[in-house]
Amino acid sequence: MIQAQGSDVPVVPGKNCGTVVYVVEERANPSSDYFVLPALRAAGCRVVRCGFEDLPARHELDGAAVVFVRYVPGAWARLVAGARAELTHLVFFMDDDVLDVRASAGLPWRYRIKLLRLGARWHAWLRQQRAELWVSTPWLQQKYASWHPRVVCPAPLSQSREACRVFYHGSASHAAEVRWLRPVLAEATRRDSRLVVEIIGGEQVRRMYRGLPRVNVVHPMTWPAYQDFLTLPGRRIGLAPLLDVPFNRARACTKFFDITRCGAVGIYSAEGVCSQVVSDGLDGLLLHTEPSAWVDGILKLASEESLLPSMLQRAREKQALLGAAAQSANCGLLG
């Protein structure tokens, strides 16, 4: 038997129950990761995570269990209804009151419609199918007491490898570079699951990068706000591609200053202005504008972590030298 964690009864996990459990979820989400998956793994179940469109063959449900996380998609409801007699368990888990439309009063109407379409409208169907109810709080347990729900206690996420933050901070004038980087970052994040991407942009950039894993699109900000933003810790690799377009021919090497100020090591276009100040392999990487070379460069810096501290130190020393040279060169401008 699959055992949910109860608030009032200690849980003794089964000894490798071995049951195949299809966890049906809209996408990867905290409800599954904090509640459902730890409970199932503690019971020794074999978990298969499925999106709304990931339907197994009906015969694959023989002797299996299905857990709906928060929502019931129609295609899965039809499949389950036809195979209900063969299922060992049918479970609905919720960590918000998604089965009562009244509970969402005051929330945005689009979200309320979603809760109605995927949650509340299936209330009677779930009871008809003799689904078990798992909930996240004693409050929900009490509200739905007639269903005899079990409370599933949250468990902390397992410690993952330290993320490596890669960033590109370009303004609207860098739209070409934002587009060029999209396949580069898609391939790099596919090959290294530690990579987390930070990119500045508006709605168009957000749509362009939708679907890429671990990508954070930060809304554009004023220059003073950006200066404070640069001081936030955690960035490791800064990207500064510069495509050969007319507007880029007047650029200066300030990206080297921004990336170094972040405490990161930069990857720069070998054809760009930063090649005049960066020493390849010493205080940054200089790469030709070839996507595969940039993918390899990102993965190299991310994997050879011992390189980053020494390269960053040299970049800071180079920045100090450039600052001193600028002061000397500019002191006579008004002379």
Separation CA 45–CA 138 (nearest Å) = 25
What would the pLDDT profile of 90-146 be if each residue is shown by its tens digit?
A: 999 999 999 999 999 999 999 999 999 999 999 999 999 999 999 999 999 999 999
DSSP codes joined into one string, 44-91: T-EEEEE-TT-PPPGGGGTT-EEEEES---HHHHHHHHHHGGG-SEEE
- Strand residue runs (E) in 261-328: 265-269, 285-287
What would the pLDDT profile of 244-262 be if each residue is shown by its tens digit?
A: 877 777 788 889 999 999 9
Q: For the purposes of burial, counting CB atoms within 10 Å of the CB of 220, is it exposed (0-12), middle (13-18) or buried (19 or more)?
A: middle
Pick one of 3.40.1010, 3.30.70, 3.40.50, 2.40.50 as the CATH number of 20-151: 3.40.50
Res 245: pLDDT: 79
Separation CA 164–CA 170 (nearest Å) = 19
15 has pLDDT over 90? no
**Range(s) within the chain of domains with CATH label 3.40.50.2000:** 164-329
pTM, entire model: 0.68
Instruction: Flag the least confident range among 25-29, 43-47, 200-204, 324-328.
Output: 324-328
Res 17: pLDDT: 58
What would the pLDDT profile of 139-187 be if each residue is shown by its tens digit?
A: 999 999 999 999 999 998 876 667 899 999 988 778 899 999 999 999 9
Give the homologous superfamily in CATH for domain 164-329.
Glycogen Phosphorylase B; (3.40.50.2000)
